[in-house]
Amino acid sequence: MSVSISVRFPHIVPRLSETEMTIARKLSGMSNNFNQLLRLCHQRGLDAMSREVEYYLGKFRELFSKFNND
């Protein structure tokens, strides 16, 4: 394929599939929530926040396992 044809009719390939983009968005949102949770852990103590920490760790593990299986 010549350069001029490539410029006029570019073939763009996405880096991630739609499914991977959905997972990445969820992971990004969960990361923000997890950071806020960690701030609360520092303020209130880990024992007081252990249930929430376990919940989010489980969700992260689920999402990471989806990435690892693909």
Domain that residue 32 falls in: 15-69
Q: For 28-57, how does the pLDDT look when each residue is reduced to its tens digit (9 = 90+)? A: 888 888 788 888 888 988 888 888 888 888
More confident residue, 22 or 5: 22
Distance CA 41, CA 50 (A): 8
Q: What is the mean pLDDT of the chain?
A: 80
Classify residue 3: in a domain, yes or no: no
pTM for the full model? Answer: 0.51
Classify residue 6: in a domain, yes or no: no
pLDDT at residue number 3? 60
**How many structural domains does the chain have?**
1
